[in-house]
Amino acid sequence: RQRQMCIREGYVYGLFGISKLFGCSQATAQRIKSSGVIDAAISQNGKIIVVDADLALDLLRVSNKKWGRKYSK
């Protein structure tokens, strides 16, 4: 099954959309979502996740948490 990122009017859908928005793996996208950093940008009904892309980017930019590699070189 081919996955596509749906962007419509500034929204992304699902963990795949979150991972493409932030340029990270789906596992990291799940950690970001579960951490609560972008909760204000997320609407979820069952398995359907809708994320306001602009708000999510702003919230992640403001947070102090560094996402990515565990140890920087």
pTM of the model: 0.76
Residue 34's pLDDT is 92
How many CB atoms sit inside 10 A of residue 57's CB? 15
Note the pLDDT tens digit of each residue in 14-67.
999 999 998 999 999 999 999 998 999 999 999 889 999 999 988 988 886 666
Edge-first strand listing for the sheet containing 11-13: 7-8, 11-13, 48-52, 42-45
User: Measuring CA to CA, how many Å separate 23 from each of 10, 16, 56?
Assistant: 16, 10, 13
Q: For 67-71, what is the mean pLDDT?
A: 55
